[in-house]
Amino acid sequence: HLLSLARLLERAGVKARPEIARGWVDGQEVMDALHISQRTLQTLRDNRIIGYSRFNRKFYYKAEEVARLLPLMGHCRTVTDQV
């Protein structure tokens, strides 16, 4: 199960950095993987769609949360977004 999660995240370009606790990624990595803006990420947090932790004024997300949202975000794309 963890191996398939690692492959899914790798394909999305999400890699946990060594300086961050294993299994956590920062907001920029989430935005890059999900192809969303900073404001959309904030909305996902505000609506409790994605869990997070905050450390030194920076948000961090569990890699599992990102993996869970990958298929959902693909369905939310418009034709223009997919070009």
Which is higher by pLDDT, 75 or 20? 75
Please, which pLDDT band fits residue 19 given cuts at 50, 70 and 90? very low
Which is higher by pLDDT, 2 or 27? 27
Mean pLDDT rounded to a whole number for the chain: 79
Q: What's the confidence (pLDDT) of residue 55? A: 84
Q: pLDDT for 20-57, tens place per residue?
A: 457 889 999 999 989 899 999 999 999 999 999 998 88
Which residues touch 17 (CB under 8 Å, ≥6 apart)? 25, 26
Taking the whole predicted model, whether its pTM rises above 0.75 is answered as: no
